[in-house]
Chains A and B, each alone.
Chain A
Amino acid sequence: MRSILGFIAGGLFGAGLVISGMTDTIKVQGWLDVFGAWDPTLAFVMGGAIIPMAIAWHLSKRRTPLVGGEFPTPANPKIGRNLVLGSVMFGMGWGLVGLCPGPTIASIGFGGWANSLFILAMIAGMALAPMVRQRLDLSSDTR
C-alpha cells in the first residue's frame, strides 16, 4: 500500500513538474534572473502547489495517515547554521544550472548525458553531506 501510494504521489509530482515547465532550466533561471527577462512562472507553480498542500496539512490535524502511524511532528523551529548555509549552497547550485533535485529526477528519461552527469554529482554531494555537516557542527562548537 505504501509503495502504491508512493508511486501515485511520484507520478503526480513528475507530471506536475513537466507540465509546469520546471524541467526546463530556462524557465527556472528566468525566474532567478531578476535583472534579466524575468519569468514569473515559478511563482505560479509554487502558489499552485501550496494550495492543495495547505489543505492536506489542515486535514492531517483530525486524522491519522491512511496506512497508519503518525503524521510528522513539526521540526524543532530553531534556525541553525546548517539550515542557512545548506540553503545558500543549494541556491548557488540551483542558480548555476537551473536544476533542483525533483526536476533533475523527472528529466532522467529525456535530459541526456548532461542531466545524468548532474545527478551523479548530486548523489556524490549527498554522500559527502554527513561529513560536511559534522565539520560545520565541530566548527560551531569551538566558538
Chain B
Amino acid sequence: MEQDWLMGLMGGLLIGLAGAVYLLGNGRIMGASGIIGGLIDGSERAAWKERISFLAGVILLPILLIPLGANGETNLTHSPVLLIIAGLLVGIGTRVANGCTSGHGVCGISRLSLRGIVATVFYILAGAVTMVLFRHTLWWI
C-alpha cells in the first residue's frame, strides 16, 4: 500500500506538469471535460487541433506504458445500466458545472479559485454519498 501512495504522488506530479505545460505553453486551462466537451458542442472551434493532439497524447502514453509494467486493469463494472447512467451524469454534470477533477480540482484549487474549491467539495461529497448509499446496495445490477 505504501508503494501505491508513492506512485500516486509521482503520477500526480506528472498530471500537474501536464497542466503546467498546457497553461504556460498554450495559455489554456487543462480540463479534460472542457477539452472533450468543447469538441462535441463546438465551443471555441479554433482550438480543435490542440484539443485533438491533447487527447491523442492521453490515449497513446498509457498504451505505451502498460507493456512496461503500468497497471492496465480498470476493474470497471460490466453493468450496461450503471455505465450508461453514470456516463450521462458525468457528461451532463461536468459541462453544466464547467469542469471536472482536472479543471476544477487540479487547475482550480492550485489557483485558489473559489469556484474550483466549491465544485470539488460538492463532487467529492456527492461521490462519497453515492458510493456509500448506492454501490453497497446496488451491487447486483
The answer to whether B14 and A19 have CB atoms under 8 Å apart is yes
Residues of the A chain whose Cβ atoms lie less than 8 Å from the Cβ of B17: 12, 16, 52
Q: Which residues of B contact A5 (CB under 8 A)?
A: 21-22, 25-26, 50
What range describes how many residues of A lie at the interface? Answer: 35 or more
Contact indicator A35/B57 (Cβ below 8 Å)? no
Contact between A49 and B19 (Cβ–Cβ < 8 Å)? yes
The residue among B49, B72, B97 with the most chain A CB atoms within 10 A of its own CB is B97
A24 x B97 contact (CB < 8 A): no
Q: How far is the CA of A85 from the CA of B50 in the complex (A)?
A: 30
By a beta-carbon cutoff of 8 Å, the part of chain B in contact with chain A is 4-30, 32-33, 36-37, 40-41, 49-63, 65-66, 70-78, 80, 82-98, 100-102, 104-107, 109-111, 113-115, 118-120, 122-132, 134-136
A-B contact sample (8 more), CB < 8 A, given A18-B70, A110-B72: A17-B11, A32-B130, A60-B24, A67-B26, A85-B97, A95-B130, A96-B86, A121-B91
